[in-house]
Chain A
Amino acid sequence: MDYTALSIKEIHDLYLSGKVTPLQVVEQAIAKAQKDTNNALEKTTFAEALKQAKDLSNSPVEKDNLLWGIPYFIKDNISTKGVETTASSNILKGYIPLFNAEVITRLNNKKAISLGKTTLDELAMGGSGMSGHLGYTFNPYDETHKRRVGGSSAGSAAVVAAGIVPFALGSDTGDSVRKPASYAGLVGFKPTWGRISRFGLFPFTPSLDAIGYFTRSVFDAALLLEVLAGRDEKDFTSSLKEVNDYTKYRAGVGGVKIALIKGISDKITNKTLLEAYEKSLKELKNRGAIIEYVNIDQVLINAIFSTYFVLSCAESTSNNANLDGVKFGLRQAGETYLDVIKNTRTKGFSPLIKRRFIIGAYSLKQENQELLFKRAQKARRLIVDEVNKVLSKYDVIYLPAAPGIAPEFNQKADNLNIEHLVADNHLAIANLAGLPSITLPLCLDNDLPIGVNLTGRAFAEKQLFAIAAVVEEITGLKGLQVGSKK
């Protein structure tokens, strides 16, 4: 039986019934991972995983602990004690963290079993899965390796889509979990900003960053949040708000108010996607949802990407200023400390990263701040105000997560094309406003998945899961993975 292609809940039920042990499941996951052809793995920890699985297999199953003995992968920008963590950048070659990220500590406490680290766009900056130091990460849905899986959480999306593990951790600054989830046919979730501790997440843009993850079902997403959410004294921005019993959501949309943003959805041209989207709307309506189109000033919608880009580049220059060759990671010799820093950073970062740093530093310069950084901050405020205005009247915003299937590697995006600018970048709304947001598979186009996205009110994750569970029911794509719908 193909255990690792199941959901967390399904594997747990098998453990409970004694039909399989963690050792068997982990062995299967490792066997699949060893055959990974998608260039999804940075570093594996199979020996430790096997030992842990063996130990668990000799002890009783923990009944109420659904993560007990569940194998998973970790995006390589999340700190793992004793395990090299590079964020897929040469500058962090050889960097072995001295501490675990809070999310890792929590998963360890639950006895989930990590199999290692996955690839990402260098330092999580990018959405293609093409810029990590190990080269392209491939979309498991395309055996010819012509298509992207998206990014930046590329490897994590690939390992779950390929059926290697039932979940993987990622991070989401603009859409880095929720966009690859669309391309890889997965549930991709990012919580409210401050809901999950960021301690141990390599910072890209702290005001936008969130730890998120990929699962095969909405229930699994809720289950993980129950474990990962909550105040962490090590992260001053983590919320003191009480953690809900997220898995106790009751799937249903009766009386639920769903907002559609015309200025975004009307930029989409993919017919299969539009049909599936319309069909899902009809089904939601049939189940009692109140669905309405709302208007947001098109100028603001068009500004989402540039706002996100200026802010993230600006913050990233500062957040990565610690990577200087003086204290850890790559070091290039030099006559003076400035030479050491210059040589190390010249060698350690790819041109794409340098480009972002230059844009960021430029927009933070005193003479440019007003025009660029501060203007982007103001635009962020305006966008967030508009979105929150919508969410004061509606429970969720429901939109296609991407304008279509995963693009090919050589497909050049026209950055000024309005479809690309809006429909390909609107997920950043949830980061700008710090809102919980979930992508789940909506349809297949030529056997390639496309996702749909729900974004809810801050800290209203339980309701978000309740609504997403209905969409999951409507699409019938729960548990989707490579080969399952051929």
Chain B
Amino acid sequence: MEYEAVIGLEIHIETKTKTKMFSSSPVDYSAAPNTLVTPTDLAHPGTLPRVNKRAVENAIRVCHALNMEIDETLYFDRKNYFYSDLPKGYQITQDKRPIGKKGYLDLNIDGQVTRIGITRLHMEEDTAKQLHILDYSLIDYNRAGIPLIEVVSEPDIRNGKEAAKFVELIREIVTFTDVSDGKMEEGSLRCDVNVSIRPKGREAFGTKVEVKNLNSISNVEKVIDIEIERQKQVLASGGQVIQETRRYDDEVKTTISMRVKNSAVDYKYYPEANLVPIHIGREFIDDVIKNCPELPTTKRMRYADQFKLSQFDIDILLASKDVSNYFDESVKHTTNYKLVANLINGEIATFLNKNNVQITSLITSPKNLARVADMINDGKISNKQARTILEHLFVEDQDPVQVAKKLNMVQISDENAILALVNVVLDENPSVIEDYKNGKDRAFGFLVGILMKKSQGKINPSIASTILKQEIEKR
């Protein structure tokens, strides 16, 4: 029988704020444990929650990016359960009226666009961090109360690849809008998935399995496909999928059961009376949207329409907010967009990788990079020379024109000079011309190589090959 997978995602995002969701306690992930804790975070009696405005703004930014309906009034609810990492014995969240609902995200996979519905987006607070060592549990309340955004998708996803793409886009959105650093490895973006399978063509859902804590985008794809396969095998062998929570185990390369869900936990949700509904209004929402950093989708369109960049280049530039910001800064100084993209995705990426540094700490200014692109475009230097110049610019930010001068680097673009050199080379290699005319394409490249060598790489390669072709024809 042919099966179809039905997948829904729940993504928790720690959002960047100076203070916690409902208290004035500072947020700093690098602080020593239990140093950023106020009586409110420890649920001392009589403390009251206060809503963090920035956290609300962050939620609105993501709602907007996900094409959601945004509620003009904020409603908070309590989710009640006892756990050692939950100081109040309840979590303040949004149950009945999430700030965002009915959104969507378009996945573009190999040119095919799939629209994934988004059920809801709500704000809540994080729990304390726990560390279990032998018989002891250590609790770090620094994390208690950090603002979270939860995005819940519709069960519209059908395979691991789509899920991975979805998470990737969410990550892109939250990083580009400055809402979160979106680091899955560090837990600032956490993904839980619900997977079920059903015979193709059937409407009713199969039994849902929850897979928890997938800590990288590549894992999302891999683990979902593994889980789908596992469920298929269970059914193929006459078994039944049971409703449970599983997690991926890297050693056995499959998901393993954590706990069976006999019935859903009753969280006894009810309205949070310490926060009466807060009317934020359309104007506030519009303002937040207006001041939101450019969304990645808008950026994509701009790069394609205005800069005529290829999909390939765009994908590389947008893989990092900082890289795309560097690109945006550079193209303020030049119109050679494609060349700038090439340099960033080529020389600069190689340099950053090799030295393990971030583009934000790159010494070379976007302006000087733009100049290098201009010099290439004007035929003043070759690509190879550009590489050499950049090596100098990586060490010290300086005017590339001066560097070229210092290195005595002038590209030969004068057609007469090139013509003379070409004829010298052709005269010296009659057999190679013969080879070329007999259909050996490699012979042409060989000749270009000799030309470059003779000119110490200073010859303009595109002019040289045009002239070379002409001269060979003549012989």
Interface residues in chain A, defined as those with a beta carbon under 8 Å from any beta carbon in chain B:
77-79, 85, 87, 92, 95, 97-99, 101, 198-203, 205-207, 233-237, 314-315, 317-318, 320-324, 326-328, 337-338, 341, 361, 364-366, 369, 373
Contacts and interface: CB of A to CB of B under 8 A. Distances in A.
Given A321-B82, A321-B89, A338-B82, A364 B270 contact: yes
A237 B271 CA distance: 14
A198 B274 CA distance: 9
| A interface, over-half SS | loop
Nearest to A374: B270
7 contacts: A92-B45, A203-B274, A237-B273, A323-B45, A365-B268, A366-B266, A373-B270
Please indicate which of the listed interface residues A95, A205, A328 has the most CB atoms of chain B within 10 Å of its own CB.
A328
Nearest to B84: A337
A143 to B, nearest CB: 35
A364 B274 contact: no
| B interface, over-half SS | loop
Interface in B165-214: none
Given A79-B44, A199-B46, A364-B268, 15 more contacts: A98-B44, A99-B39, A99-B46, A200-B46, A203-B46, A205-B273, A234-B48, A236-B48, A236-B51, A237-B276, A321-B82, A322-B87, A328-B42, A365-B268, A366-B266
A324 B86 CA distance: 10
B273 A315 contact: yes
B268 A361 contact: yes
Given A202-B45, A318-B268, A234 B137 contact: no
B88 interface: yes
Contacts of B270: 314-315, 318, 364, 369, 373
A364 B80 contact: yes
Contacts, number: 104
A328 B42 CA distance: 9
B49 interface: yes
Nearest to B22: A236
Interface string B76-107: 00101011100111100000000000000000
A321 B86 CA distance: 10
Contact of B273 (A200, A207, A321): A207
A203 B150 CA distance: 28
Contacts of A366: 266, 268
A394 B278 CA distance: 30
A236 B275 contact: yes
Contacts of B139: 326
Contact of B80 (A78, A85, A99, A321): A321
Please indicate which of the listed interface residues B50, B84, B88, B139 has the most CB atoms of chain A within 10 Å of its own CB.
B84
B306 to A, nearest CB: 45
B181 to A, nearest CB: 29
Contact of B89 (A98, A101, A236, A322): A322
B89 A318 contact: yes
B contact residues, range = 20 to 34
A237 B80 CA distance: 21
Nearest to A85: B45
Please indicate which of the listed interface residues A318, A341, A373 has the most CB atoms of chain B within 10 Å of its own CB.
A318
Contacts of A202: 45-46
A327 B48 contact: no
Contact of B46 (A201, A321, A338, A369): A201
B427 to A, nearest CB: 88
Interface of B: 39, 42-51, 78, 80, 82-84, 87-90, 137, 139, 266, 268, 270, 273-276, 278
A203 B87 CA distance: 15
B51 to A, nearest CB: 7
A206 B46 CA distance: 10
Contact of A322 (B43, B48, B83, B275): B43
A365 B89 contact: no
A79 B44 CA distance: 10
Given A236-B275, A322-B87, A199 B48 contact: yes
A334 to B, nearest CB: 11
A243 to B, nearest CB: 19
B137 A337 contact: yes
A19 to B, nearest CB: 39
A318 B88 CA distance: 8
Given A99-B39, A322-B89, A236 B274 contact: yes
Given A206-B273, A324-B82, A365-B268, A233 B50 contact: yes
Contact of B50 (A79, A236, A341): A236
A323 B46 CA distance: 12
A235 B45 contact: no
Contacts of A79: 44-46
Please indicate which of the listed interface residues A92, A200, A323 has the most CB atoms of chain B within 10 Å of its own CB.
A200
Contacts of A369: 268, 270
A315 B273 CA distance: 9
Nearest to A197: B48
Please indicate which of the listed interface residues A198, A207, A327 has the most CB atoms of chain B within 10 Å of its own CB.
A327
A326 B84 contact: yes
Please indicate which of the listed interface residues B45, B78, B266 has the most CB atoms of chain A within 10 Å of its own CB.
B45
Contacts of B42: 327-328
Contacts of B87: 322, 326-327
B49 A318 contact: no
A85 B274 CA distance: 21
B274 A206 contact: yes
Nearest to B82: A341
Contacts of A341: 82, 84
Please indicate which of the listed interface residues A200, A322, A323 has the most CB atoms of chain B within 10 Å of its own CB.
A322
A101 B46 contact: yes
B327 to A, nearest CB: 43
Nearest to B39: A98
Contacts of B278: 236
Nearest to B86: A321
A373 B66 CA distance: 35
Nearest to A234: B48
Contacts of A203: 45-46, 274
B82 A318 contact: no
Contacts of B43: 322, 327
B50 A234 contact: yes
Nearest to B141: A327
A199 B273 CA distance: 13
Please indicate which of the listed interface residues A95, A233, A236, A364 has the most CB atoms of chain B within 10 Å of its own CB.
A236
Contacts of B275: 236-237
Nearest to B81: A321
Contacts of A78: 46
B143 to A, nearest CB: 15
A117 to B, nearest CB: 14
A199 B49 CA distance: 10
B45 A318 contact: no
Contacts of B39: 97-99
A98 B47 CA distance: 11
Contacts of A320: 89
B273 A198 contact: no
A198 B48 contact: yes
B93 to A, nearest CB: 13
Please indicate which of the listed interface residues B42, B44, B88, B266 has the most CB atoms of chain A within 10 Å of its own CB.
B44
Given A206-B274, A321-B88, A236 B46 contact: no
A75 to B, nearest CB: 12
Contacts of A365: 266, 268
